Amino acid sequence: MPSQYTLGSHTFSSRLIIGTGKYESFQQNLACIEASGAEMVTVALRRVDTQAPKGQGIFDVIRPDRFQILPNTAGCYNAEDAVTTARMGRALLETDLVKLEVIGDERTLFPDVGATIEAARVLIDEGFTVLPYVTDDPVACQKLAALGCAAVMPLGAPIGSGMGIRNAANLRIILETVEVPVIVDAGVGTASDAAVAMELGCTAVLMNTGIAHAKDPVRMARAMRLATESGRLAYEAGRMPRRLYASASSPLDGIAQF
């Protein structure tokens, strides 16, 4: 049975979290979620069409009674807007979970760390289970964890870039210096990227574009599931030490002499 992890009062087995943007349809998105085995799905509240005809809205297809919906504050550029959006998500979905995003640069979509910390402080005081999207900065992650965030979500690479894990060294430092789950968020482009994140010891991976923009999104979703599971299993198994020189696979003691 896969090992579980907790975020606040919520427990999960799947270590793959899926987004809901850039798909051809909600039905394609649902097929990818099912193929991925994800239990939690993140939705950008500011991009939800509240005027969609009955039966055609996102929550009619990706139903909250099947999946844990993780509302996110994507599209917010200051702490006040992010807090307001989080409150809307709690009222709409009756969940304390929020993926906190406060964007600081429109071109790179890098987060505004100061505003993220400001918003996190308010939301934690209001009882939210806060999962902040943040740069791969160990100090920022330490500050957010100290505030009481349920996890930290450092980027692997810029959102939608597909460049993979660009700074494994920083992720290692984050993993060593915070006591909350570390979830890689953004930049994963293919299955090997997800495996790297998990082999480092990350708790989970959140991705969207890597699946949605694949030539075959459903097959890629399954590949991401397998990579996440195998990466976690390899981490739990413990890899062999790296060596500079060769080491014979067969023992040399007792070898026959001719």
Place of tokens 């994507």: 74
* C-beta of residue 113 within 8 angstroms of C-beta of residue 140: yes
What is the Cα–Cα distance from 67 to 148, expressed in whole angstroms? 25
Q: C-alpha angle with apex 77: 72 to 79, nearest 5 degrees?
A: 75
DSSP 56-94: -SHHHHS-TTTSEEEEE-TT--SHHHHHHHHHHHHHHH-
DSSP E strands, the chain: 5-7, 10-12, 16-18, 40-44, 68-72, 97-100, 129-134, 153-154, 183-185, 204-207
Catalytic residue among 54, 99, 143, 215: 99
> Which candidate, 170, 121, 164, places its Cα nearest to that of 144?
121
What is the Cα–Cα distance from 64 to 59, expressed in whole angstroms? 7
What is the Cα–Cα distance from 6 to 25, expressed in whole angstroms? 31
In this structure, the strands spanning 68-72 and 40-44 are parallel
> Which candidate, 231, 254, 255, 236, places its Cα nearest to that of 16?
231
Q: Is-catalytic flag, 143?
A: no
> Which positions are annotated as active-site residues?
99
